[in-house]
Amino acid sequence: MNEGVEGQLRSLERRLADLTQRVERVERGSARFPADAGPMPTHHVAAARRLTPPPPRQASPSPPPRSQFDLEALLGGRVLAWAGGVAILLGFVFLLGIAIDRGWIDEPTRTVLGFLGSTSLLLAGVWLYERRGRTEAALAAVASALAGLFTTLLVGTQIYDLIPAGIGLAGAALVGAVGVAIAVRWESEVVAAIGVLGALLAPVLVDAGASDLSLAFMTIALTAAVGVLLWQRWSWLSLGAFLVSAPQLLTWTESYDERLGATLGVLAGFWALYVVAAIGSELRSQTRDELPITSWLVLFGNVVVIAGAGYFALDGANHPNAAIAWLLGLAGGHVLLGAFALRQAINREIGSLLIAAGLSLSALGFADALDGPVLVVGWAVQAVVLAYLATRASNEPRPYGSSAARLLIVAGAYLGLALGHALAFEAPPSAIIHGVPDLGDAVIGLGACAAAALYGRFALRDFDLDLSRATEAIGAGALLYLASVAIVDTVGVDASGESLQMGQMLLSAFWALTGLGGIVYGLLRDVRRVRLGGLALLGLAVAKVYTYDLAALDELARVLSFVALGLFLLVGAFAYQRIRVGAEDEAKGASR
């Protein structure tokens, strides 16, 4: 046996040595026959071919994925599945309707059949999804089953009065918990909507009323919804949860307004839940993406609901000062929370959003607590703060529809409120003729508006040039109007409030002189918008002199008004032609 093995080994050694010699001869042969020395002998070529491994086959490129809209897949998968689920649910309802009309089954049997049918459909959908593939048919079956269970609870509690409210709430909690668990496991938004919103609607479905039990149940359901929102970025679900739960919260506060401490504590707790629902997912993921519009809607809706409910509860209990303090305290909390958020390594829009919500709420508090020019100053300051936040909301200018644009819209609204109040109370348009009740109030109100608008001129110059120039025009107009009111109130009215000739004459001259100054400045600096503004103001002065001054002033004042206007117009025309023509000649000479 050993001799046989040794013989085989010696035979292998001989074959290996022979193969080595052949390879060496092939290599020496290829060296003796270079490419320019003629063709290689045939036996060497054959040996080289036998020893050279074949080249690897290249895999054929895979076809690109299809990006076209597959109508067949849509109709055959989703549409058929959801149509089937809706059809099953409606068929079950129709069957119950026939049975009721014909007296086949009584009310308890109908309720039991509703629970059994919906539960069977739910189990079948779960089994299909887990065992037979994640299909739309399984999702549709589960969604229809959850809707059927909530509907059965509604019928059994409110229509048939077979199920007590407490048991109905417990059943709704169980159905909602099952729906939420399935939605999180399958990452299904549809199932989440039915489970979460159905659970939040449970107190209404079972007619539990505005009781402490219904409030506690809704609090638990809303907390569960917020937990889902922290894990899944389903921003629309936060808006749905707010829209479903907020009316129930307001109903409860109206029923329990005598317990102010408990009411305010509940409102503070729901405020925190709504804030987490609005921005919790962004805080957890620390994403830098733009906040969805639903976050804005939920947070501002939260401010309106919580602030309004607390205010009316306190005011209805004859605590008006406490009601104002509730508004301003809630506003201050938002501003402080937003300032803290801006200092953290999170999305800057969150801090801007919180501050904007706080300032919006403070506008209501200021309107209730303050009056006169102080209120105008408060609104103007809020406009400045929002404009500043808009410029810091992103590192680069972004198109309208972004958070910066939304903040600018709110800032413009505050500036409009400030200007509207100033023009309605501190310096109405009649002040051009009869003066103002208090010149100091007019100076404070219009001055604050002008300062806020001119701040926007410089703050927004790198964000939106057109918007920056628009705020510049508003600020300049406010200063011009303030100076005009000051002239009329100082020298244009007497002690009884009657208009004087001198004031209107000086006002016309002031407008003409200011327009002339704008034209000259615009020509020297080549700023077209300033030139056009000066021309517009000169036109306004001409219109005033030829209408009001001509009809209301006496002979001497009328003459002086027309002469002053004519001189300013001649100087303006001379300056316009000389400076304009000189600039054009210099440009032509430079081109030559």
Looking at 147, 181, 208, the residue that finishes a domain is 208
As a whole number of angstroms, the longest Cα–Cα distance in the chain is 148
Q: How far apart are CA 509 and CA 159, in angstroms?
A: 80
For the record, the structure tokens of 380 come out as: 């103007």
User: Does residue 33 fall inside a structural domain?
Assistant: no
- Give the H or E element holding residue 348: helix 348-369
| Structure confidence at residue 475 (pLDDT) | 94
Quick one: pLDDT at residue 389?
Answer: 80
Does residue 184 lie within any of the structural domains?
yes
At 260-281, the pLDDT tens digits run: 888 899 999 999 999 988 887 7
**Does residue 562 form part of some domain?**
yes
Task: Judge whether 384 lies within some domain.
Answer: no
Last residue within a domain, chosen from 166, 192, 208: 208
- How many whole angstroms separate alpha carbon 236 and alpha carbon 233? 9
Q: What is the pLDDT of residue 404?
A: 75
Q: Establish if 100 belongs to a structural domain.
A: yes
Instruction: Tell me, yes or no, whether 439 lies in a domain.
Output: no
The residue among 468, 441, 440, 469 whose CA lies nearest residue 528 is 469
pLDDT for position 257: 56
In whole angstroms, give the CA distance from residue 127 to residue 265: 44
What size, in residues, is the chain?
A: 592
Q: Walk along the chain (592 residues) and give the pLDDT tens digit of each residue.
A: 455 656 666 777 777 777 777 767 666 655 444 444 445 454 444 444 544 555 545 444 444 444 444 444 444 445 555 565 566 656 655 655 565 565 556 778 777 877 888 888 889 888 888 887 777 777 777 877 887 788 777 777 777 778 887 787 788 888 888 888 888 788 887 777 777 777 778 777 667 677 777 788 788 788 878 878 877 777 788 888 899 999 989 988 887 656 788 889 999 999 999 998 888 777 766 665 667 888 888 988 998 899 989 988 888 888 888 888 898 899 889 888 888 887 777 777 788 788 888 887 887 777 777 778 888 998 898 889 888 887 776 544 444 446 677 778 888 888 999 999 999 999 999 889 888 889 999 999 999 999 999 998 888 877 777 888 899 999 999 999 999 999 998 887 776 666 678 888 899 999 999 998 998 888 888 888 898 899 899 899 999 999 988 888 888 888 888 888 888 888 888 877 777 655 555 555 555 5
Domain final position from 173, 208, 243: 208
Q: Tell me the residue range of the domain where 516 lies.
A: 500-591
Is residue 552 included in any domain, yes or no? yes
Give the per-residue pLDDT at 445.
93
Kindly report the backbone phi and psi dihedral angles of residue 559, in degrees, each rounded to the nearest multiple of 5, phi listed first.
-60, -45
The token pair at 72 is 């067949």
Q: Could you give the CA distance from residue 51 to residue 19 in angstroms, rounded to a whole number?
A: 11
pLDDT in the model for residue 60? 45
DSSP secondary structure letters along 458-473 = HHTTTT-HHHHHHHHH
CB atoms within 10 A of CB 576: 18
Residue 499, beta-bridge partner list: 493
Q: Residue 393 has what pLDDT? A: 64
Q: How far is CA 491 from the centre of its chain?
A: 51
Non-local (6+) Cβ contacts of 378 within 8 A are 362, 363, 366, 370
The structural domain count of the chain equals: 2
CA distances from 397 to 212, 408, 436, 456 (A): 49, 12, 42, 15
Dihedral angle computed from the Cα positions of residues 297, 300, 306 and 309, in that order, rounded to the nearest 10 degrees: -90
Find the helix or strand (DSSP H, E) in which 314 lies: helix 293-316
The Cα–Cα gap between 187 and 180 comes to 10
493 forms bridges with which residues in the sheet? 499
pLDDT reported for residue 91? 64
Share of the chain above pLDDT 70, in %: 77
In a domain, 113, yes or no: yes
